[in-house]
Amino acid sequence: MKVMHYYKCELETVFLAIQILDLFLNSYKGDQVKKHLHLIGATSITIASKMQDIVPVKINILKGVNEMEVFIFQVINYQTILVSPYDFIKSHLYDFKFNASEKINNLNLVSNINILEDNAVFIAKLMLKDDRFNQYR
């Protein structure tokens, strides 16, 4: 997450990069993961950034990122439509705010809904740091 912060990636990109990395680690059964973990992680970031950010990050310090992108896509069978906890939170709260906006405003619940959203995103961030919530173990 420090790398993502350094490159000023959006929160959606952070969640997507971790989803891609998790899917790859869960799908790949080879024994070279530990040897290339840094490259795999950096490549997951570039893939996620290309999918989410207007101006994608360029990690030029590592050789083999382009080749690793192709390899990761092959291993995950080109599954690029991934729903992260962040996507779930944002879409459901947006839908709730949009469909119930009149009731929310009448009951003065706007600040409470915003606090709920902030807390849900905070919990989702905490889940990123705990491997019990990932597929790969």
Task: Name residues whose C-beta falls within 8 Å of residue 111's C-beta, 6 or more positions apart in sequence.
Answer: none
Domain residue ranges in the chain: 2-75, 85-133
Would you say how long the chain is, in residues?
137
DSSP run (H or E) holding 17: helix 11-27
What DSSP assignment string belongs to 28-83?
---S-TTTTHHHHHHHHHHHHHHHH-SS-----SSTTHHHHHHHHHHHTTT-----
End-to-end CA distance of the chain: 19
Q: What is the pTM of this model?
A: 0.77
pLDDT in tens, 83-117: 888 888 988 888 888 888 888 888 888 889 889 99
Confidence of residue 130 (pLDDT cuts 50, 70, 90): confident
At the fourth CATH level, the homologous superfamily of domain 2-75 is Cyclin-like (1.10.472.10)
pLDDT in tens, 50-75: 998 888 887 766 788 889 999 999 99
Q: Can you say whether the dihedral through the CA atoms of 115, 117, 118, 119 is positive or negative?
A: positive
